[in-house]
Amino acid sequence: MKRFLGFVKKEFLHIFRDFRTLIILFGIPTAQILIFGFVVSTDIKDAKVAFLDLSKDEVTQKISDKICSSGFFRRAGDLENYDEIDLVMKKGKAKAVVVFGANFGVDLISQNKATMSIIADGSEPNTATLITNYLTAIVTDFNREFAGSSLSDNLLVQPEVRMFYNPEMKGHFMFVPGVITLILTLICALMTSITITKEKEFGTMEVLLVSPLKPLQIILGKVTPYFLLSFINVIFILLLSFFVFDLPVKGSLVLLLAESMLYILMSLSFGILISAISKTIQQAIFISFLGLMLPTILLSGFIFPLENMPEAYDWVSAFLPPRYFIVIIKNIMIKGTGFLYVWKETLILMIMTTLFIGLSVRNFKLRLQ
Amino acid sequence: MQKIIEASDISKRFGETQALKDISFSVNESEIFGFIGPDGAGKTTLFRIITTLLLPDDGEMKVLGMDSKTEFKELRKNIGYMPGRFSLYQDLSVEENLNFYATVFGTTVKENYDLISDIYSHIEPFKKRLAGNLSGGMKQKLALSCALIHKPKLLVLDEPTTGVDAVSRSEFWEMLKKLKQYKITIIVSTPYMDEAMRCDRVALIQNGKILSIDNPEKIKQGYSRKLFSAKAPEKYKLIDALRKYPETITAYPFGDSVHVTFTGDKYDSSIYTYLGKLGINDAVISVTEAGIEDRFLELMNKAE
Amino acid sequence: MMKNRVIIVRNLVKRFGKFIANDNLSFEVYEGEIFGFLGANGAGKTTALRILSGLSEPTSGEVIVAGFDAKKQPEQIKKNIGYMCQKFSLYEDLTAKENIMLYGGIYGMSKTLIKERTDELLDKLNFREYGDRLISDLPLGLKQKLALSVAVLHEPKIVFLDEPTGGVDPITRRQFWEMIYETAYRGITVFVTTHYMDEAEYCDRISIMSDGKIVALDTPAELKRQYNAKSVEEVFIKIARPKP
């Protein structure tokens, strides 16, 4: 045990002594969250909204005035029928269209309930998300006023959000789950594979092998610091997205962290596997990037929606662990679903983890080739 | 006397390359045993087999009475190994490196300090310095301290003096000599012929084969001819002329002179006339003693 | 007879910040000479070599190589020198012939001249059968010989050899030194840096550097006599004690 702890201590020294490692560990996650959060989603101001008011009553008038006087939106015109919606959007005259159904005001007063639709231009997912969020917020505000000071649970006016061109809004805050996945993959797989191959390249592995350290101790000693650091990183990213972007974890935090641990374990074992096959640091980096980072970014639904992919890519992506992990955290974090909704993905990740651990332990040589 | 290493008919092949061919030798207790040979002769492969890092294709390797194939776990605890490129963590300090290796081998620096104190005292003033910032000689001493920290019975040093300055090299050999009193057996490899003289016994190794094993003095004496040294300011012309001289067997540049052998192990004054005709008037030829390098050359030529 | 001086160094100083890598060096190297530039790692050899080959500018002092000022005409110097170090001189993934062509091209030699020299060179080295082989497949000794031949392909005035013969077998090493002798005999000055003291014995004159200064400069025989030593190595140990 003392040997093992000595080994772990040494690994921490390596990590904290190398400026670059620290940057990768903490700088990149921060930068990515902030870049995706601030740069990609621009602030909205005077966004053009058109109205299709089929009711034309006092209530609809009030709501549309409230929207246009909020400072976020500008009235882009009034439409006469549904066909015009597509037209104004294609021409870029409006980013969103608010539709009030016929008898809106009557329904609201008689049934205490009315439906309106918000149709947004989904070709710019981030802007569309923001616009619909703002619009929804304004409508909620209206509800509150309408019902007096008492807060009612059931919305009186229920905005129904629809997206044009990108109906399911795949960009919707996907970046946080995506960044978590990317960071975990990067730290665990890439960094572990680098640190082990580094020992090979510098010849220190020869002495470690000759020493009484068991291979499992060497592997665990290498992996433990990264396990802890990745875990801290997950918490760090969650805090960052909560405090900077008001993005809470809707589902169970414990479940989310447990799933993260599983994924960390998977990436670590993958990293060890990479280091078992590569002889130099360059090779390790190359394999990690080609085999893991690029697919994570391109094929796992992080940037490009899986649904839009040709079937062949979909098949490839079925073998990529990040794909499942993104689904898991998306479900827990954003949709707030429980374990029942992610058990399949979890099982797949577990099987993959076992496989990688098995392979990497088998491939970790007691001797040199 | 106990045999620390007994190797019989060790062969190892990497794909097309035959790295070692039927190598047999034995090393006695407390001996400094040197493997002398150029890069690619097979020294590192052999050392990796001794340290159980590689398995031979053929043959048997017994180290400290244990089989390197089956009893490698026990064996590894008793070996101190210093690989070709000093096995140090460049980003850790001198002290941290030493402590790390001590912990890994289940001991403490304190426990075996007397063993390394002689060596470590040279670098102790710089113990906070990162290993990567040390000079070659200092790295070498640190690596040796690390390899010794668990008081191994056998010390395996793969080219410990390569890339190290002459002063440090000579200090290093002094240190090895002192380790004998602790009954530590040392095997060491080097491409420098002159270091052979510092060993108790040496094996000359070339192309995966051992050319000769003996104590260095005897190896030198094994030189089969009388050796002459020829000097002249224009060395290139001198070598060329000597090579063309009918009585010459071999002629090789050797430092500031040319080492020559003649048929019948003698020369007469006619050689000066010969050289004079070629414009070399100030040549001096004298008898000289063959060095280990001369013997190596002779053995290499024979092997070809 | 006044010998031609191909390298003249006077009061050369090179500083990196506070660190003085070359501390007031002065020496001369003559035409056709084999000049050994010795010192431990970190003694300042590489820095001096870079300045002499026009890669780096001296902080102060005068450096004239092949008749050109290292400060003002580094490009002229580069055209008139050859350079070889054991590891990086040849492209491992090109064949011997391709390497020769490449270097000939770099030094602006005409196609016919390159072809002529290539044939000449391959014949001289008994290299015919290896001409179309990749460098990575050649034994170390052959690589070295080829590297030296390539370095002097354009008939430079001076060739710099950086630690050229580490780790080779005694026969190859002697063959290599014979090539160096021949190069010098042809009038090309050979400037060898090394920390292998036994290589120094082969040089006409040697200088020993320690802590950025030249601490000794003479023929090996004279230095050995002065310091009452059997070998240059002993001389070195007596005068150059490196810092940690």
Does one domain contain both B247 and B110? no
Q: Is the pLDDT of residue A168 over 50?
A: no
Distances in Å between the alpha carbon of A77 and those of A98, A132, C209? 11, 18, 85
**pLDDT on residue C141:** 80
C244 vs B contacts (CB less than 8 Å): 123, 125-126, 134-135, 137-138
| A237-259 pLDDT per residue, tens | 888 888 877 777 778 889 999 99
Q: What is the pLDDT of residue A40?
A: 56
Q: C94 exposed, middle or buried (CB, 10 Å; 0-12, 13-18, 19+)?
A: middle
b/e burial code for range C49-74 (CB count within 10 A of at least 16 → b): bbbbbbebebeebebbbbebebeebb
pLDDT interval class at B36 (50, 70, 90): very high
pLDDT class of C130 with cuts at 50, 70, 90: confident
Q: Which residue of B has its CA nearest to A198?
A: B89
Does the pLDDT of residue C38 top 80, yes or no?
yes
| Residue-level pLDDT at A126 | 66
DSSP B93: B
Q: Tell me which of C171, C172, C185, C208 to substitute to probe the interface with B (most B C-beta atoms closer than 10 Å).
A: C171
| Alpha carbon distance C89, C102 (integer Å) | 12
Question: In this structure, is the dihedral angle defined by the CA atoms of residues B60, B64, B65 and B68, taken in order, positive or negative?
Answer: negative
Lowest mean pLDDT among A83-87, B196-200, B294-298: A83-87
Cβ of C41 within 8 Å of Cβ of B165? The answer is yes
Q: What structural domains and CATH numbers belong to chain A?
A: 2-39+173-363 (no CATH), 47-164 (3.40.1710.10)
- B48–A17 CB contact, under 8 Å: no
- Three-state DSSP class for residue B13: strand
Q: How far apart are CA B149 and CA A360, in angstroms?
A: 31
Contacts of B44 in chain A (CB under 8 A): none
The letter for the amino acid at A185 is T
Dump pLDDT digits (tens) for A1-55: 788 888 898 988 888 888 888 887 788 888 877 777 666 555 566 788 888 888 8
Instruction: Give the pairing of strands B66-67 and B79-82.
Output: unpaired
- Count of CB pairs separated by less than 8 Å, A with B: 81
Over the stretch B41-53, which tens digit does the pLDDT of each residue have? 899 999 999 999 9
What is the distance in angstroms between the Cα of C25 and the nearest Cα belonging to chain B?
21
How far is the C-alpha of A200 from the C-alpha of A195, rounded, in Å?
A: 9
Pull the structure tokens for residue B175.
């240190």
d(CA B85, CA B131): 13
- Residues B154, B296 within the same domain: no
Domain that holds residue B294: 227-303
Q: Which one, of B53, B52, B135, lies nearest residue B88 by Cα? A: B135
Report residue B302 as tokens: 């024979």
Distance from CA of B235 to the nearest CA of A (A): 42
Euclidean distance between CA atoms C81 and C61, whole angstroms: 21
- For residues B17 and B139, membership in a common domain is answered with yes
Domain C1-80+164-244, CATH among 3.10.50.40, 3.40.50.300, 3.40.50.1370, 3.50.50.60:
3.40.50.300
Residues B109 and B21 in one domain: yes
List the single residue in B135, B166, B206 with the smallest CB-CB distance to C244.
B135
> Under an 8 A CB cutoff, do B83 and A10 touch?
no
The mean predicted confidence, pLDDT, of chain B is 90
Residue A40, Ramachandran bin (φ over 0: left; ψ between -120 and 50: alpha; else beta): alpha
CA distance B259 to chain A (A): 40
| B104, B146, B147: residue with CB nearest A3 | B104
- Touching check for B228 and chain A: CB below 8 Å? no
**Neighbouring C-beta atoms of residue B288, cutoff 10 Å:** 16
CA distances from A269 to A255, A327, A356, A367 (A): 21, 21, 6, 20
Enumerate neighbours of A (3 or more CB pairs within 8 A): B
- Give B233 or A148, the one with higher predicted confidence: B233
Please report, for the domain that includes residue B289, its CATH number: 3.30.70.100
Q: Which sign, positive or negative, has the C-alpha torsion A201, A204, A207, A208? A: negative
Rounded Cα–Cα distance for residues A163 and A332 (Å): 23
Phi, psi dihedrals of residue B194, rounded to the nearest 5°: -65, -20
Statement to judge: residues B195 and B242 lie in one domain? no
Q: Do B81 and A206 touch (CB under 8 A)?
A: yes
Q: Are residues B80 and B213 in the same domain?
A: yes
CB contact under 8 A, C244 and B134: yes
Q: Phi then psi for B52, rounded to 5 degrees?
A: 70, 15
The predicted pLDDT at position A149 comes to 46
Task: Spell out which residues of chain A touch residue B104, defining contact as CB-CB under 8 Å.
Answer: 3, 6-7, 208, 211-213
Return the structure tokens found at C189: 């000055």
Contact C168 B38 (CB under 8 A): yes
Residue for token pair 């050229």: C164
Digit-coded pLDDT (tens) for C102-113: 888 888 888 888
CATH at B163: 3.40.50.300
Could you give the residue range(s) of every CATH 3.40.50.300 domain in chain C? 1-80+164-244
Test B84 with A203 for CB contact under 8 angstroms.
yes
Whole-angstrom CA distances from A268 to A106, A204, A226, A233 are 61, 21, 8, 15
pLDDT tier, C226 (very low <50, low <70, confident <90, very high otherwise): very high
Q: How far apart are alpha carbons A160 and B120 in whole angstroms?
A: 77
Distance separating alpha carbons of residues A265 and A242, to the nearest angstrom: 25
Average pLDDT of the residues in C2-12: 88
Residue A20 and residue C20: Cα distance in Å, rounded? 30
Rounded to 10 degrees, what is the CA torsion of A15, A16, A18, A22? 80
Query: Has residue B262 got a pLDDT over 70?
Result: yes
CA B246, CA A260: separation in Å to the nearest integer? 83
Phi, psi of B199, rounded to the nearest 5 degrees: -95, 160
**Confidence class for position A220, pLDDT limits 50, 70, 90:** confident
**Claim to verify: residue B93 and residue B235 sit in the same structural domain:** no
User: How many domains does chain B divide into?
Assistant: 2
**Which of A122-126, A135-139, A146-150, B251-255 is the least confident region?**
A146-150
| B250 Cβ under 8 Å from any chain C Cβ | no
pLDDT at A227 over 70: yes
- Backbone conformation region of residue A204, classed left if phi is above 0, alpha if psi is from -120 to 50, else beta: alpha
Beta-carbon separation of B166 and C195 below 8 A: yes
**What are residue A156's phi and psi, to 5 degrees?**
-80, -45
Of B220, B252, B280, the position where a domain reaches its end is B220
The span from the CA of B85 to the CA of B137, in Å, is: 13
